[in-house]
Structure 1
Amino acid sequence: MISQVVPVTGARTARRRRWGPVAMSGIGLAMAVGAVTPAEGQGRCAGRRPLAPLVLRTARRIGLQVAFNPGRLAAFCTTERLPDNATLADLRRVVAAAGLRLVQIDRHLFALALAVPPPAPARARATSPHRPPTATAAAPDYADDTIEPIVVMGRLNGADSDRWLRRLRTGIGDSVSADRIRQLPAVSAADALRLVPGVQLDNQRGSGVYMFARGLDSVFHVAEIDGRAVALNELVENGGPRGRSFRFEMIPAEFIGRIDVAKTTGSAQDEAAVGVTVDMRILHPLDIGNRIEMAVRSDMNDWRGQPGGGVTGIGSWTTAGGDLGILLMAQARRRAIRNDRFFEFQWTRDRFPGILPHGTYTPGRVRPTIEIEDRHQRSGMAVVQWRPAVGHMTEASAFVTRLDVDYDESGLDIYPDDATYVTPRFVTGSAVLNGDTAIAGRIEDVRWMASRETSRNRHDLLVTGIRHSIDDGGWHVVADAGFSRAHSHQPRAMGTSRSRMAFFAPLSFDFSRGYRTPATLTTDRDLTDPASYAGWTYNYAPKDSRDTAAAARIDAERVLDDRFATTLRGGMAWQERRRDYRRRDLFIDTLRGVPVTDARLGPATYEPLPHAGFLGRLPAGTPGRWLVPSATGQRDLLLTEAALATAPGIDDLAASYAIRERVISGYGQMRTGAMLLGGPLDIEAGVRLPHTEQVSAGYRSDGIAATPVRYRRTYLSFLPSLSLRWEPAADLTLRLAAGRSVTRPNLTDIAPRLTLSLDNRTASGGNPMLRPFVATNLDMAIDYTPGAARTLSAGLFQRRLDDYITSANRPIAFPDHGSFLLSTTQNGGKATLSGAEVAGAFGLPLPTAIGGRASVNGSLTLVAVASAFRAGDRVIRDRLIGLSRTSVTLAGRYERGVLAADLGWFWRSRYLNSYGTSVIGEEYVAPLGTLDGRISVAAHGALTIDIDATNLLGVHKYLYGTTSAQPKEINLFGRTVSVGIRWRMPA
């Protein structure tokens, strides 16, 4: 069945077959419009009708989605009329009068092409006006030079779909189809996004969660599902809040029909992101037709050594005429993860004055730890599509998922510079310096603390929406409403539970072997002897974050017969996001200092490290075994009903907040097509005016009392955009774009909140008066497509950001807790981000003896930034959070008969992870590349067997400080191999 109309090429020459979108600056637009002669404009269709609006109107009325490029049909006119109830047969008659013909490209793919050479006889079965014919003959090769497409209509799949969708864009962007997603191991939407040039993912315990793109952090990008805003699951497990960052792990890859990534702004977009807008298009029944499919998968992580897997089911049904479609889908999946982590929490400056030179960094909190996660996700989706009449379409969908993460962490915390309880003493003459860093030495009276952290972290996500479109003559009207709810929380008595036991002893440390090798950390105590330890403060910290996103919009587009303006479009949108975040911290000191061998604690509250082989091989002197608290011992003893019923304290109130953000926006846009110097030209210009109201509520604490506060901020943004696409020669496309965009501040950054960390004497807070990120965006791209399976593209982009938000640090004292270093945010200045992208795809010739087909596709992205931000008294130059200067993707595919093999390599250079403070240096993630692969065999008819492998090379993730002489983290998460069996009901 037909799902979209895709314009493909112009008609200047019988050999022309390629095109692509263009955008340009104001100067370029003036030159382009001035170059369009009257003969190429209004007068060409004198006495006849322009074909372009007729194609638009008819295709939409019979239920086809239209992605139209006005310049493609600028040269075509017709004398035929179309009735109000026009069918596909009527459209065939009208285009024939304009010198075009309908040809078949593939089973579900048709094209309007030049009438010469004449079409081959078609063999088709009868169909309704809502659905084009489906030929029974074998589809011709799309690369055949006798086929000269002007407009392509149909459901596009696989790599061809990605190329066509890229070409039809007015702006610059990429698409990843469902078929291409399934060519490499992909558990979630995060894995699928790796295939987009310029996109990188963070790697958390071997899984992708948050997205970075074109050098910008995850907060700069917008995530949508079917074009609608989606609520955000906030981080509740161990780690800092992310605010506006979408967790792409929440969307199973199997539920996705296509991912569109818009890299330039447009006035019709709900959000004009400074970064990219990711629209995850779910599967729709009228796209995939009748289908019943079942899949079973089993996987094993070699480091965890415990199996996982899942089951997926899909059922899609459509009426014979394509007027009604219903899709139901469900999935249950379990993953078992282990991450061995050796990290140095912070390198701190000038902690031992008089002993070490001024400006010397020494190690702060050091922590070998083993993290265990059991992840259970259950998802369901229902979609209904209904065409009650010609020109009308109603779509309703609901997606729901629940992700439960059981977290169990066993660690050993070492505090070389913490003077909260006992003042450590650096032994004079023991330091070994590497520049400004003490990489080895001996410190007396250091706190050693064995810890156990457990929690149940639950993430719920609901996304619903309804959309109705009307196509009546020259009008195309779409009304859309959606609601999304995300709830991240920890069930009662299952919040973050931190049990600890400690002792004070000397520390001899040696980090001289670099950031890829664990440091030597020795003491005179036996880490496995219960007699070494005493009880310590027990901490229970439940968290609850509720986020909702409600939106409604109406868009109207008028198709014009005028030769200058092909379409006029405008609309209004309303969106409201609410965030309610609650956190508590219970600290229970009743057993601090009590020996763990005492009857008040005893053997039920501790155990040997429950996991063997920490980090594989360890150098001599690196802790690999230690005693840890029991997962339940101290919690069962101390977390009583009376403790849980305790009223929130001052610090609890100061860490909680509520935010409401309401955006009302309107936009107008014009689109036109013409001929410029013999080549088709498409122009799109518009402006968007969003009005934003933010209300932040919370508590301000002085350490003695918490006072309710409320802040309100409003602002109006003016966001013009202009894009141009021009095909100056066969197989060559130029695109230019310019515009303004805005990214609103992180929700956690504008919250009037304050959170204390007693372990490292730091505090974090919000700033409700932050101004948004505003950027001027310039983009240029060129596409060269010499063949159906060969593409080469290159582009340049620049983002000039005003009011860039960065960190600020200052000391602050609390009467009950002492002195802390407070970190907050402020508008820190300007930054200019510049970059280049190159991407390509081509086939590989193979010897006859090997046979089959092979192809390669890849991309290279280079990014640079000019910036200068202060982190206390330090200046961070030419660095932004999450910016990798270089990223590479490379994927290869081999097919022969029933066998298909795929291999993908995804690499990014180092990037800044945090700015640090006045006394704490910045932190970098070292270069990281992973190799993934899949082998697929069509075993028997509708049965397919897949074997997947991720992180084939078993790489580790590393972090370091201001230089590589300051090791920060080593993460070992192993390889994962999975086997899947998929059965699809034969068509």
Structure 2
Amino acid sequence: MNTRKTLLSAAIVSCLAFSAHAQQAPASAPTATDLDTVQVTGIRGSMEKSLDTKREANARLEVVTAEDVGKLPAHNVADTLQRLPGVNISSSSADEGGFDEADRVSLRGTSPSLTQTLINGHTVASADWFVLSQGNNVGRSVSYSLLPSELVSSVEVNKSSQAKLQDGGTTGTVNIVTRTPLGFANKFTAEASVGAVNSDQADSTDPQLSALFNYKSDDGRFGVLLQGFYQKRELRREAQEIPGGFFKIAATDPVAATNPDLIGVNVPGLLGSTLFEQTRERKGGLVTVEFKPSDDLTLALSGFSSKMEANNYNRNFMMFGNSFAKSQAPDAGYTIKDGVLTNATYTGRPGTDYAVYDMIYREATAKTNYVTFDADWQINDNLNSKFQVGTTKGTGSTPRQFIAEVTAANGGGASWSTHGNSSPIDWNVGGDISPSGVTSFGTWGNQEVTAEDKEDWVNLDFSQYFTSGALSSIDFGVRYADHKREAMSPEGATPGNIWAALQNGATANYPGGFAKDIGGTFPRNLWYFTPDALKDAILNNSTWLANNDGPDGRHNYGAEWKVAEKNFGAYVQANLSGDRWAGNFGLRYVNIKQDIDTYLAVQDVANADVRSLFGMWKAQAFENKHSRVLPSANLKFDLAEDLVFRFAASQTQTLPDYSALGASSWGSDLNKTGGGGNPKLKPTVSTNLDANLEWYFMPRGLLSAGVFSMNMKDYIAFDVQTQMLFSELTHQLEAYQVSAPINADGKVSGLELVYEQPIGEYFGVNANYTYADGSSSHTWADGTNNLLGTSKNTYNVGAYFENDTFGARLSYTYRSEFLISLSGANPYYQDAFGTLSASLSYKATDWLSVSFDALNLNNPTYKYYQSSAIPTSFYSNGRQYYLNFRFKY
């Protein structure tokens, strides 16, 4: 027997019993999506609208309402959401490290993959610009980098589940609501924003443009909304990176014979001085047409498209510990502390390269789009139906990777000194590290990587209303979706004599003052080949094969996989109301079929279905079927005119990440580690309880406290397994330590506190705090039982001022450390960080307003680590300033 389901069912039955004995009342309070459209302008109006929506909702809901077109409380949608209680953000989806802009959203100390993001209640296909997110590390979370704030009317964060909500969000659902043509007050509305963003570290100022036009007929039966945006931004990230973390000296390594005290000691494999630069150019728009042929029927056709060009150049000059530390003994006087070789100097040996330098220029794009057709038909006074059919597609592509890897510092020796995980490692290499000191050249990596994410769906929903009794309405409906996620690596180039063309190519230098904000002593005055020199040398000296199949082809089948899912759902939800209480309960049935296609590396040609220069593989196909009933219940009690108590209970489900199911195992020859998928993973099913007390002590004033608990069965964790994979160096199968996803139970419980209060007519303050205590039945290599993504402490504090012409807001948000995943075979974490932002606005006239937004004013350094003694990386991104002029007609 499933004890948790039994307990949950008992809780819901108890709610029903209470409802049956409660007093009858008129129809229930409207939900967030049922409220009348209100034109909100200004900070105070936005906060009041958000609190009113939250108060009237029958479920646990947080709402952010835009002050005006393009004026969320923060410039970025994800940054806006992080100010809500229980919401966490992260700036990356894989191993690309910390950036200055949030990209992922998660709830209550969990992984972003467990939070579902929708637009207007429907799926939106995701796409990523980073090559690893396009192939090896593909989650179910949506990239917010493709969603500009100009599109947003409001954002709803559903913390408690309802049967009528689309399944997929174990910990909650974020619904981004766009504007509709018939929702505007005037016949014609025209707005435009002309501005610029300045990134101080990139020393660049770039344009930010958007425009909106809306027409609504005099009779209110026809409307057209057109929105467009073009936004460009240069960014530069300066860092110290330790790719792959530290490795342990093995008893079989040559140095163990002369220095047995080094056996089992952690040593940095690579210590990098890293410069990353990128141009992000985002453009797209939204078109919506609404038509009301009669009072009871509304038809709508909507299309959205967003594309981001994200060409990027990463340079990492690294001390090459893997090259010498296993065979060469450090000079006398080295120190070992907490199992780490904390101080070491290596006298140079002729013929030994002490440095390796990677220069990787990538052309990358990410794009997403959707098209929906909606029909809303009021069949009679008591029955309403809604129909929607839609399609969405996202594509992330890296069509070209221009890569040079050179070795240098021959015979020059090396040294380092560590200082725990809070400070960069001091390190240096001797010898010639100029272009003339290069001793070898190589190029690696797939020349093309593409990921496609697409879904077609149809929804049919009904609402039956009742005019008397405690049962105010019943919602019921069905949904069918066909989803496919595929990673492809179909093309490669045979390199020719690239080095002959490149070694005399144009070079440039790292910027002055490089990495000054992160501290530490390590090489900074470095050179690199310019992107054009690297690109031209590789394009002009590579042969692109017409046929990449066969033993001499460069089709990397091992990087390809596909997951196809067919999802059927049906639900029924009863909405109740009485004297000073309201609520709902329901059941959602889900039936899912998964087809997974992947490859297994083999050594024997007779067992291979496909082969190329990258190895031989056997095609594998798997099928999974999952069906279950997910119950949910929400109750709201008006204990007093200004005091609301809520209780919610539910079961929710999220399917494993796409790459967790489908990705073929892959490995790095550098340290014989890698990653892969597990097609036999089960979905995560969570039993959730939530209680909250809200005191609306004055207009725009709120004091609330709540507790929550999520008990997750078959939570996705990662284990390290030994697998035989193809080595590109030896061209045979070798043993690798592979990080593979597994099912393990997990739980998280916590507390949320919220305080908002106006001070006089023009001032106000707000603050919230979330405590999340998470653990897993899985024990990581470092002996912990952490949940992925769990920050124990998150808080936000802010203050604002606004009168009829001037507004100002200051906000600070903090998140404590959390586990990200595995780096190689080792768990790694992001350290605690806080960000400070400010915004100013001035209403010059009824048709012109000016705004200034400043992000990351405290210029935080994002720190990552493997343990208290072993750092992983330190990133500095600088500050960003946005100046916008908004015109309205």
Q: TM-score, normalised by structure 1?
A: 0.80
Partner of 1:218 in structure 2? Answer: 112
1:344 and 2:327 matched: no
1:277 and 2:178 matched: no
Partner of 1:958 in structure 2? Answer: 863
Worse overlay, 406-415 or 689-698: 406-415
Residue 502 to residue 732, structure 1, CA distance change in 2 (3 Å): same
* Fraction of identical pairs, as percent: 18
Query: In the alignment, is the contact (CA less than 8 A) between 2:493 and 2:545 conserved in 1?
Result: no
Partner of 2:4 in structure 1? Answer: none
Partners of 2:765 and 2:529 in 1: CA distance: 52
Residue 278 to residue 876, structure 1, CA distance change in 2 (3 Å): farther
1:835 and 2:750 matched: yes
Equivalent of residue 862 in structure 1, options 771, 776, 786: 771
CA offsets per residue over residues 859-892 of structure 1, 9 Å max, x none? 1110001324244xx3543411211111111221
Partner of 2:27 in structure 1? Answer: 52
1:642 and 2:543 matched: yes
Partners of 2:731 and 2:548 in 1: CA distance: 18
Query: In the alignment, is the contact (CA less than 8 A) between 2:493 and 2:543 conserved in 1?
Result: no
Indicate the SS of the match to 2:293.
coil
Amino acid of the residue matched to residue 647 of structure 1?
Answer: N
**CA-CA distance at 1:214 after TM superposition:** 0.6
Indicate the SS of the match to 1:208.
coil
Partner of 2:334 in structure 1? Answer: 431
Partners of 2:69 and 2:420 in 1: CA distance: 38
Partner of 1:671 in structure 2? Answer: 575
Partners of 1:28 and 1:610 in 2: CA distance: 62
Query: In the alignment, is the contact (CA less than 8 A) between 1:226 and 1:282 conserved in 2?
Result: yes
Indicate the SS of the match to 1:954.
coil
Residue 183 to residue 580, structure 1, CA distance change in 2 (3 Å): closer
Partners of 1:26 and 1:757 in 2: CA distance: 48
**CA-CA distance at 1:272 after TM superposition:** 4.2
Equivalent of residue 406 in structure 2, options 489, 501, 517: 501
Amino acid of the residue matched to residue 627 of structure 1?
Answer: W
Indicate the SS of the match to 1:922.
strand
Query: In the alignment, is the contact (CA less than 8 A) between 2:9 and 2:631 conserved in 1?
Result: no
Query: In the alignment, is the contact (CA less than 8 A) between 2:8 and 2:687 conserved in 1?
Result: no
Partners of 1:711 and 1:65 in 2: CA distance: 40
Partners of 1:880 and 1:515 in 2: CA distance: 21
**CA-CA distance at 1:911 after TM superposition:** 0.8
Indicate the SS of the match to 2:588.
strand
Residue 186 to residue 786, structure 1, CA distance change in 2 (3 Å): closer
Partners of 2:707 and 2:413 in 1: CA distance: 52
Partner of 1:309 in structure 2? Answer: 207
Amino acid of the residue matched to residue 543 of structure 2?
Answer: A
**CA-CA distance at 1:390 after TM superposition:** 1.4
Amino acid of the residue matched to residue 177 of structure 2?
Answer: R
Query: In the alignment, is the contact (CA less than 8 A) between 1:375 and 1:406 conserved in 2?
Result: yes
Partner of 1:385 in structure 2? Answer: 290
Partner of 1:800 in structure 2? Answer: 711
1:478 and 2:376 matched: no
Partner of 2:523 in structure 1? Answer: 623
**CA-CA distance at 1:961 after TM superposition:** 1.5
Query: In the alignment, is the contact (CA less than 8 A) between 1:698 and 1:709 conserved in 2?
Result: yes
1:685 and 2:579 matched: no
CA offsets per residue over residues 238-286 of structure 1, 9 Å max, x none? 5652321210111110111111110111111112411221111111122
Amino acid of the residue matched to residue 294 of structure 1?
Answer: A
Residue 313 to residue 34, structure 1, CA distance change in 2 (3 Å): closer
Equivalent positions of 1:720-869 (< 5 A) are: 720-813=631-724, 814=726, 816-817=731-732, 819-845=734-760, 853-869=762-778
**CA-CA distance at 1:818 after TM superposition:** 5.7
Partners of 1:295 and 1:887 in 2: CA distance: 33
Residue 183 to residue 396, structure 1, CA distance change in 2 (3 Å): closer
Partners of 2:367 and 2:836 in 1: CA distance: 31
1:326 and 2:224 matched: yes
CA offsets per residue over residues 516-548 of structure 1, 9 Å max, x none? 443222222122251344323444532111111
Structure 2: runs of 5 or more not aligned:
1-6, 92-97, 604-614
Aligned Cα root-mean-square deviation (Å): 2.9
Worse overlay, 229-238 or 567-576: 229-238
Partners of 2:239 and 2:26 in 1: CA distance: 64
Partners of 1:476 and 1:696 in 2: CA distance: 39
Equivalent positions of 1:445-464 (< 5 A) are: 445=352, 447-464=354-371
Indicate the SS of the match to 2:322.
coil
Partners of 1:903 and 1:583 in 2: CA distance: 46
Partners of 2:517 and 2:48 in 1: CA distance: 47
Amino acid of the residue matched to residue 959 of structure 1?
Answer: Y
Worse overlay, 407-416 or 753-762: 753-762
Partners of 2:273 and 2:195 in 1: CA distance: 33
1:400 and 2:296 matched: no
Partner of 2:504 in structure 1? Answer: 603
Query: In the alignment, is the contact (CA less than 8 A) between 1:945 and 1:979 conserved in 2?
Result: yes
Query: In the alignment, is the contact (CA less than 8 A) between 2:493 and 2:542 conserved in 1?
Result: no
**CA-CA distance at 1:435 after TM superposition:** 1.2
Worse overlay, 701-710 or 456-465: 701-710
1:652 and 2:546 matched: no
Worse overlay, 739-748 or 501-510: 501-510
Q: Flag the structure with larger Rg.
A: 1
Query: In the alignment, is the contact (CA less than 8 A) between 2:414 and 2:430 conserved in 1?
Result: no
CA offsets per residue over residues 366-391 of structure 1, 9 Å max, x none? 22111001111111111122221112
CA offsets per residue over residues 131-174 of structure 1, 9 Å max, x none? xxxxxxxx9xxxxxxxxxxxxxxxx9611121111122222120
Indicate the SS of the match to 1:310.
strand
Amino acid of the residue matched to residue 861 of structure 1?
Answer: T
Indicate the SS of the match to 1:268.
coil
Residue 886 to residue 731, structure 1, CA distance change in 2 (3 Å): same
Partners of 2:80 and 2:721 in 1: CA distance: 41
1:202 and 2:90 matched: yes
1:249 and 2:154 matched: no
Residue 933 to residue 181, structure 1, CA distance change in 2 (3 Å): farther
CA offsets per residue over residues 447-503 of structure 1, 9 Å max, x none? 412221111111111111111111111101111111111111134xxx122112113
CA offsets per residue over residues 276-316 of structure 1, 9 Å max, x none? 21111111122233311111011211111011121111111
Partners of 1:773 and 1:759 in 2: CA distance: 34
Indicate the SS of the match to 1:433.
strand
Worse overlay, 437-446 or 733-742: 437-446
**CA-CA distance at 1:39 after TM superposition:** 9.2
Partners of 2:271 and 2:814 in 1: CA distance: 28
CA offsets per residue over residues 78-126 of structure 1, 9 Å max, x none? xxxxxxxxxxxxxxxxxxxxxxxxxxxx9979xxxxxxxxxxxxxxxxx
1:924 and 2:835 matched: no
Indicate the SS of the match to 1:749.
helix
Equivalent of residue 535 in structure 1, options 410, 417, 441: 441
Equivalent positions of 1:18-97 (< 5 A) are: 40-41=23-24, 52=27, 66=34
Partners of 1:727 and 1:836 in 2: CA distance: 21
1:416 and 2:324 matched: no
Residue 39 to residue 569, structure 1, CA distance change in 2 (3 Å): closer
Q: TM-score, normalised by structure 2?
A: 0.89
Residue 533 to residue 733, structure 1, CA distance change in 2 (3 Å): same
Residue 202 to residue 617, structure 1, CA distance change in 2 (3 Å): closer
Query: In the alignment, is the contact (CA less than 8 A) between 1:416 and 1:424 conserved in 2?
Result: no
1:547 and 2:453 matched: yes
Structure 1: runs of 5 or more not aligned:
1-23, 42-49, 69-105, 110-138, 140-155, 846-851
CA offsets per residue over residues 195-215 of structure 1, 9 Å max, x none? 322112113421111112210
In the alignment of these two chains, the number of paired residues is 839
Indicate the SS of the match to 1:158.
helix
Partner of 2:874 in structure 1? Answer: 970
Indicate the SS of the match to 2:55.
helix
Partners of 1:220 and 1:229 in 2: CA distance: 15
Partners of 1:242 and 1:899 in 2: CA distance: 44
Amino acid of the residue matched to residue 768 of structure 2?
Answer: S
